[in-house]
Amino acid sequence: MSAALRRLELSLLPERFAVAQLAPGAPAVTPPPGMTLFSVTRTADELSVVCAEPDLPLSARVQTGWRAFEVHGPFALSEVGVLSAIASPLADARISLFVISTFNTDYILVHAEQLQSAVAALERAGHKIQQPKASS
């Protein structure tokens, strides 16, 4: 199926997220209980952490103010076009993204300042966005 024709369902997570960079030899970071998204990637050059803003590791270089969409999966690792179906309409709207892929699905982060434009671009492309439920 062409990425332009692919229609996906995404959920907007309620939290604001941060992307943090630590030194490559920094100790492992442990996710807090109850988190909805927490990602750690270590390379030879850095330790990157994506987490809810209140859970930021100390002494990290950070960029805050990100919102995250969870793509409803799971998807086979061999499936083609999932990310392209989302990235293309965002690129057309000149919205940058940060992607985290897991075994089952993808998480698309956009800066909070561009959130409404991102939702509009994704909906114009035929994707369905589930907004977070209001807390009581």
> Could you read off the pLDDT of 38-78 as tens digits, one per residue?
999 999 999 999 999 998 877 889 999 999 999 998 888 88
DSSP state at residue 3 = T
Q: Say yes or no to pLDDT of 3 above 80.
A: no
Distance of CA 52 to the CA centre of its chain: 11
Query: What phi and psi, each to the nearest 5 degrees, are found at residue 118?
Result: -65, -45
Q: How far is 77 from 102, CA to CA, in rounded Å?
A: 9
29 pLDDT tier (thresholds 50, 70, 90):
confident
DSSP state at residue 28 = P
81 pLDDT tier (thresholds 50, 70, 90):
confident
**Residue % of the chain over a pLDDT of 90:** 72
Rounded to an integer, the average pLDDT of 13-40 is 92
User: Is 3.40.50.1980 the CATH number for 9-130?
Assistant: no
- pLDDT reported for residue 106: 94
DSSP state at residue 8 = -
Left (φ > 0), alpha (ψ -120 to 50) or beta: where does 123 sit?
Answer: alpha
Q: 108 is written with which tokens?
A: 């698309």
Q: Say yes or no to pLDDT of 134 above 80.
A: no
> How many other C-beta atoms can be found within 10 angstroms of the C-beta atom of residue 109?
22
Whether pTM exceeds 0.85: yes
